[in-house]
Amino acid sequence: MSDKRAIGVFDSGLGGLTVVKELIKALPNESIVYFGDTGRVPYGTRSVETIKKYAKQDEEFLLNQDVKLIIAACGTVSSVAGDIALDLPVPYFEVVSHSAKAAVKATKNEKIAVIGTNATVNSRQHEKEILRLMPSASVLNQSCSLFVPLVEEGWYEADDIVVVETVRRYLQPIIDFKPDTLILGCTHYPILSEVIKKVLGDEVTLINAGTAVAESLTEFLKENGLENGGENSPEYRYYVSDKPDSFVRLASILIGRQVDGNKVLKVDINNL
């Protein structure tokens, strides 16, 4: 069996592209349709009600693109809006449970830290999932509100003093906690991995939601006969809710391959 329909991925902005990068690596035959809600980013500072409303619209847009499954490549949506998956006609993947599973597998000292947006950290969803899998674990949650604007602005270089000092300030409680594993609970954060490693040291394992979800998805597609057999070369399409220019520039960096500007289109998410 083979299913050549695309995988649908959405995020509040650019961050979900770190998940797309891992999907392309793990599943090179699969086509992907990405929606980044760049006109309404960030989600992480908004109410649960608003986040759910936005996430529903994002899903509806992807369903109109005839996708075979949907990935909420957004830590915030995954943390606070789990019930948006309930009426979906296609399978749904979020990033929290897969990250928690990977962290529990990686930790030796059973001390796991989680960083994310305010909404994600307040939900404590990662912590609940970690403790379900490993009741003896200690978990420290830390919100890092300025990380998303830094990344959206294209500031993530490990030799940029402003970035390094911002990251150090947010991560100080984590340095004191001494975990051996850190969940990057927001999909924007992998782009700051080099800076985070510089601040925390190489001994701390960073859990990237993209890698974690790509691993589970590979198995799921195989088990359910949903893989693209590879007769057609994969297609990558990107949609945004604000002007595509800055998205195109940063997308190539986040995905690690050139994104064709003609494949990035603006949609009116409020009028589907």
Which residues are known to be catalytic? Answer: 74, 186
| Distance from the Cα of residue 237 to its chain's centroid | 17
| Distance from the Cα of residue 102 to its chain's centroid | 14
36 lies in the site for ligand DGL, by CB under 6 A: no
99 lies in the site for ligand DGL, by CB under 6 A: no
Report the nearest approach of ligand DGL to the CB of residue 136 (Å).
28
152 lies in the site for ligand DGL, by CB under 6 A: no
- Integer CA distances (angstroms), 159 to 20, 147, 149, 175, in order: 26, 16, 18, 20
Which residue has the closest beta carbon to ligand DGL?
Answer: 44
- Integer CA distances (angstroms), 270 to 48, 54, 237, 240, 267, in order: 18, 9, 20, 12, 9
Please give the Cα distance from 102 to 196 (Å, whole number): 19
Report the nearest approach of ligand DGL to the CB of residue 177 (Å).
21
Bridge partners of residue 112, in order along the sequence: 139, 181
CA angle 152, 124, 96 (to 5 degrees): 60
With contacts defined by CB under 6 A, name the span among 25-33, 103-111, 180-188, 228-236 that binds ligand DGL.
180-188
With contacts defined by CB under 6 A, name the span among 39-47, 175-183, 214-222, 262-270 that binds ligand DGL.
39-47
With contacts defined by CB under 6 A, name the span among 23-31, 74-82, 103-111, 166-174 that binds ligand DGL.
74-82
Please give the Cα distance from 153 to 43 (Å, whole number): 16
Among 7, 10, 12, 254, binds ligand DGL (CB under 6 A): 12
Among 107, 120, 141, 241, binds ligand DGL (CB under 6 A): 120
- Integer CA distances (angstroms), 172 to 43, 100, 166, 239, in order: 25, 22, 10, 37
Among 74, 144, 214, 254, binds ligand DGL (CB under 6 A): 74
CA angle 43, 45, 51 (to 5 degrees): 40
Rg (CA), the chain: 18
Contact predicate 267/60, CB 8 Å = no
Among 31, 97, 117, 123, binds ligand DGL (CB under 6 A): 117
254 lies in the site for ligand DGL, by CB under 6 A: no
Among 41, 80, 182, 255, binds ligand DGL (CB under 6 A): 41
Report the nearest approach of ligand DGL to the CB of residue 29 (Å).
26
11 lies in the site for ligand DGL, by CB under 6 A: yes
Question: What residues line the site for ligand DGL (CB under 6 A)?
Answer: 11-13, 15, 41-44, 74-76, 117, 120, 148, 186-188
